A and B are shown apart, each in its own frame.
Chain A
Amino acid sequence: MSQPQRLVLLLGLLALAGCATTTPTNIAGSGTQLETRQIQTREYDTLNKAMTMRSVIATLQDLGFTIDQADAELGTVTATRLDEYTMRMTVTVVQKDGERISVRANARIGENAVLDAATYQDFFVVLDKAMFLTMHKVD
């Protein structure tokens, strides 16, 4: 086998192999837990979990999502947006140490998890406004 032929074979095998691994892929996610949690989470100085959840729902509706399900007791809201792409979000509202409310958002677009900080920052900018309006009884 000549040198160029060997190179073609090698590249061909590489193309077929792609990023294959022997374990089932994409089940546990990327696994960078702490960093991901930080960019997906905001804390608010309020004790009103129900109003926080209503603000989350209003924010999702403003962003064009339809609410799939919401659970006041567990503090979760799941919503879907059908657009040029399908985006799915789950937002969790948890009361922390009886003093603050923590809001965590997870987003997926199609089969990809959204992991960039800027996208979550955009979400929390909208939520911040909704929280302000709700807490100050404006709107």
Chain B
Amino acid sequence: MRRAAYSLLLVASLYGCATTAIPESALRLPESTLDIRSIQTRTLEASSELNILTATIAVLQDMEFNIDRIEKPLGVITASKVSDADDKGQKTGLFFLDVLCAMGGGGGCDASSTAKDDQHITLTMVVLPNQARAGEYKVRITIQRVIYDKLDRILVLERIDTAETYQAIFDNLRKSLFIQEGTS
């Protein structure tokens, strides 16, 4: 018993110096790279890079994003928004869990506080001119989000990889670019 206590203290004393290991594949391309790249990228034709950037800003405003930064020479736009991430099904389930807990006479029934609350979404769009063909641009969008619960604890950190999300944005971008090309 005494030996176990000494070992525990020794481990605790060493723990103070521990650092988190760097994941081995942190900067290696995952196998899914090509699939994700094709989901996030479209080739668009436009009379200028500026027209694509302007059309994108309009789409982002339509989607209720705020523009954080634009770096025109590199074709980079960064935008973000905070929106509701409530999952009604999950919320109802947690509410009933709290009710059952209270009926059982147990204290600390606050399962509802772990329900999703806000999501902070960041979106980057990068326009890359095709060096070989004038008037053709590769547009790549990447989106990630952090979901918080009611007590501001982080529930989810993730990159959005769903093809439908990107398809919907690119559909809107094509329409916006059509209007932009007509007015410029």
Contact = CB atoms under 8 A, between A and B. Distances in A.
Interface in A66-86: 66-73, 80-86
B147 to A, nearest CB: 10
Contact of A137 (B20, B126, B131, B159): B131
Interface residues of A, number: 52
Nearest to A137: B131
A50 B64 CA distance: 31
B103 interface: no
A58 interface: yes
Interface residues of B, number: 50
Given A54-B128, A72-B74, 14 more contacts: A8-B5, A15-B9, A19-B16, A61-B142, A63-B27, A66-B78, A68-B78, A70-B69, A73-B73, A83-B158, A110-B20, A119-B27, A126-B29, A137-B131
A109 B13 CA distance: 24
A28 interface: no
Which 4 pairs from chain A and chain B are nearest by CB? A18-B16, A72-B73, A11-B9, A82-B157
Nearest to A114: B22
A116 B12 CA distance: 26
Interface in A20-70: 20, 50, 53-54, 57-58, 61-70
A8 B144 contact: no
Given A8-B9, A114-B22, A57 B76 contact: yes
